[in-house]
Amino acid sequence: MVVVATSSPRSPRRTDALSRERIVEASIAILDAAGENGLTVRAVTAHLSTGRGAIYHHVANKDDLLAEAAAGVLGPVLAGAEGDDDPRQAIRTLALGIFDAIDAHPWVGAQLSREPLQPAVLAVWRIVGIQLHKLGIAETALADAGSALVNYVLGAAAQYAAGARRAPDDASRRRYLERLAAEWVRLDPHPLVGASASLLREHDDREQFVAGVDIFLAGVTCLHGNRGPAAGEG
C-alpha cells in the first residue's frame, strides 16, 4: 500500500480524518484494555474524539468492528506462517502463532469461534490444508484431518483464552488454578482426580497446547501411515 504525502513543509492537517484503519486500531486498544464488554460505540468514538454516529460511515455495525479488530490482530500472524519447509513444523508454528495472539488479546478467541466465514479463519483452513497435503494426506482424509486440526487449534486457543481472561497476571493465575484444583478434588473423590489436580497446578498452557497439536499429527500419520507400519482399525 503506497502512501502519497502532500508536500507542504509544515503539515497543517492534524492526524485527523476518520478511517476504517483508525477505527479498528482504536477498537483493538479498547478491547485490550477493557475486554469485550468494554467495546462500546461510545468508547470508540470518545477515544477518537468524534460524534457517536461517525463510525457508521466506515463500518457497518459493531459485529463488523469486532471481526475487523480480530483480523487486524491475526493478519500478521497468518501472513508469516506460510514459509516453512517441514510441514509439521509449519503447523506447529501456525498453531503457536495463533495461541500467542489470543493469549495477548483474549477477546480474539471468542470472535474466531463466532463466525466461520471470516477471512482470518479461512486463511487458517488454507494453510493447514496445504501443509497436510504436503504430508501426503488427500481427499476425505484431508478434509477430516484439516477440520480436526483447525477446530482443535481455534477451540483450544479460545478455551485457554477464557481462562487467561479470568486470571490476567501470574499471581491470580496461581490462585485460580489452586481454587480449581481444590474444588475439583472436593467435588470428586475419584483418585484420578487427585493426581490430575496436582498436575494442573504445574502445567504450562502453551506446552499443553502444542502437545495437543502433536497428538493430532501423530494420529494423522498413524491412520494414513506414510511412515512406519500403520496401526489396525477396530
The residues of the shown chain that bind DNA, judged by CB under 7 A, are: 16-18, 39-43, 49-54, 56-58, 61-63
Nearer to its own copies, 18 or 200 (CB): 200
56 binds, among DNA, its own copies, none (CB under 5 to 8 A by kind): DNA
Residue given cell 502445567 in the structure block: 203
Cα 122 to Cα 161: distance, rounded to the nearest angstrom: 21
Nearer to its own copies, 22 or 224 (CB): 224
Cβ at position 165, least distance to its own copies in Å: 9
Q: Is the dihedral of CA 199, 90, 139, 218 positive or negative?
A: negative
Backbone phi, psi, residue 7, to 5° = -90, 30
Q: Decide: 120 and 71 in contact? Cβ < 8 Å.
A: yes
C-alpha cell at 195: 493426581
Binders of its own copies: how many residues, by CB under 8 A?
64
C-alpha cell at 54: 461517525
Q: Which of the ranges 8-16, 49-57, 98-106, 193-201 carries the binding residues for its own copies, by CB under 8 A?
A: 193-201
Q: Is the dihedral of CA 29, 33, 38, 43 positive or negative?
A: negative
Map the footprint of its own copies across residues 142-171, applying CB under 8 A.
Answer: 142-148, 151-152, 154-156, 158-159, 162-163, 166
- What is the b/e burial string over 96-131, where b = at least 16 CB atoms within 10 angstroms of the residue's CB? bbbbebbbebbbbbbbbeeeeebebbebbeebbbeb
219 binds, among its own copies, DNA, none (CB under 5 to 8 A by kind): its own copies
What are the residue ranges of helices labelled H in the chain?
Answer: 20-38, 41-47, 62-79, 87-104, 107-114, 119-134, 139-166, 170-187, 191-202, 205-223
174 binds its own copies per the rule CB under 8 A: no
39 binds, among its own copies, DNA, none (CB under 5 to 8 A by kind): DNA
52 binds its own copies per the rule CB under 8 A: no
Map the footprint of its own copies across residues 53-92, applying CB under 8 A.
Answer: 88
- The only residue of 47, 126, 185, 194 in contact with its own copies, by rule CB under 8 A: 126
Which residues are near its own copies by CB under 8 A? 88, 109-110, 113-117, 122, 126, 129-130, 133, 139-140, 142-148, 151-152, 154-156, 158-159, 162-163, 166, 180, 183-184, 187-188, 190, 192-193, 195-196, 199-200, 203, 208, 211-212, 214-223, 227-229, 231-232, 234
